[in-house]
Amino acid sequence: MAADELIFDPGVLLPGPVCEFQGYHAAARHGGLGILPWRTAWLEATAAGVDARSEAPEPGEVRFPQALVHLQKSRTASWRDLLCAWNLLEPGGRLLLCGGNELGVTSAVKRLARELEQAPRILANRRHARIVAFERGDGPGPLSTESTRIVLPLPDGTRPALHAEPGVFSAKRLDVGTELLLETLAGQPPPRRVLDMGCGIGPLAFSALSRWPEARALLLDADARAVASASLNAAALGLETRCQIDWWDAEEPCPEGDFDLALVNPPFHGGKEVDLRPAHSMFARLGESLALGGRALIVANRTLPYEDGLESLGTTEVLGASRGYKIIGFTRRVNRRPRVHTPRPRSSGSNRR
């Protein structure tokens, strides 16, 4: 990302530690702390020796002379980060906002200037990106952003509202693919153990647990904000004793195996480009975590060739299609071991980072 290249321009970072949100390279060079809700980035940062956390510390725990916030696609998530960064600054500390034009950095800077009632100081402005600085004074801070509530229709006719932290996928309403998969659950045989891979705030697993009272579920997601949201929702629905929710990246082994049913709604965008690597990593984990003969229901855009990445592991069929999406039914092959279990080096499809 071009904006990230600007953080080491002369005059951008002052000597001393930095609290960095959605990145860690500044913290790696200057010391400090990286706030990284995405597990992939957190694993990279900790491997590089950076002090990294999935969420910001409490203001009374530590203070910093400077904080750097990388602008995200989600405005509500970016403003949550800006407010946390502001509260962690020492008096007179610098709040840095870094972003590219493609993310609307110009409008974000204007909004932040209005809320802080001060003019930004432009520290770097090139490569279609900029970094600006504000000073932590006695004036107002960034306006807080609220979590949202998403209605989940359950099989018993109730419609609880699920909690969604800012920045979590589909944090305004259930996405079309999830709705289609929920419709498909009705025709499935009752499972004992359910795996929700990339669970988000938990609608798929919670609907499954509501439909099948004897089932238990493991929910996994790479976004710590999704894990926090799903944990709150499990408690609110009274399902916390029937499920486990873990922070997990698809490049890591699945914490458990022998699942009868897996529910998967893989991401397929990396920025504006289609990126199938996360989906293929999830499919490799399916071959390891499903019981022999176990079944998975997978959401896919109609145009995406997910079947190609699954054929070495088992059989597939399209169970339904609507509004540009399809549901792929996958059954793990029972007559031979999946290719991902062989001792040979992993193919390029495993996408180890």
Q: Which of 69, 103, 135 is the last residue of a domain?
A: 135
Residue 172 lies in a domain: yes
311 vs 353, residue with greater confidence = 311
Q: What is the pTM of this model?
A: 0.89
Through-space distance between the first and last CA atoms of the chain, rounded to whole angstroms: 17
**pLDDT for res 311:** 85
Residue 141 lies in a domain: no
Answer yes or no: do 112 and 175 share one domain.
no
Q: Which of 76, 111, 135 is the last residue of a domain?
A: 135
Residue 280 lies in a domain: yes
Tell me the pLDDT tens digit for each residue of 97-144.
999 999 999 999 999 999 999 999 999 999 899 999 999 988 889 998
57 vs 341, residue with greater confidence = 57
Residue 298 lies in a domain: yes
**Cα–Cα distances in angstroms (integers) from residue 108 to residues 11, 104, 114, in the given order:** 21, 6, 10
Q: Are 253 and 288 in contact (CB under 8 A)?
A: yes
Q: Is 177 exposed, middle or buried (0-12, 13-18, 19+ CB in 10 A)?
A: buried
Answer yes or no: do 180 and 276 share one domain.
yes
**pLDDT for res 268:** 74
Q: Are 65 and 90 in contact (CB under 8 A)?
A: yes
110-114, 202-206, 312-316: range with lowest mean pLDDT: 312-316
Does 229 have pLDDT greater than 50?
yes
Confidence tier at 239 by pLDDT (50, 70, 90): very high
Residue 142 lies in a domain: no
Answer yes or no: do 125 and 153 share one domain.
no
**pLDDT for res 340:** 45
Q: Which of 109, 135, 161 is the last residue of a domain?
A: 135
Residue 7 lies in a domain: yes
Answer yes or no: do 103 and 28 share one domain.
yes
**pLDDT for res 348:** 33
Tell me the pLDDT tens digit for each residue of 35-51.
999 999 999 999 999 99
Domain that holds residue 68: 2-135
Answer yes or no: do 89 and 173 share one domain.
no
Q: What angle do CA 25, 39, 6 make, to 5 degrees?
A: 25
What total of structural domains would you count in the chain? 2
Tell me the pLDDT tens digit for each residue of 257-296.
999 999 999 887 545 677 888 898 999 999 899 999 999 9
What CATH number is attached to the domain comprising 32?
Answer: 3.40.50.150
> What is the rounded average pLDDT for all residues in the chain?
90
Query: 142: closest CA among 134, 153, 150?
Result: 134
Residue 140 lies in a domain: no
Q: Are 233 and 257 in contact (CB under 8 A)?
A: no
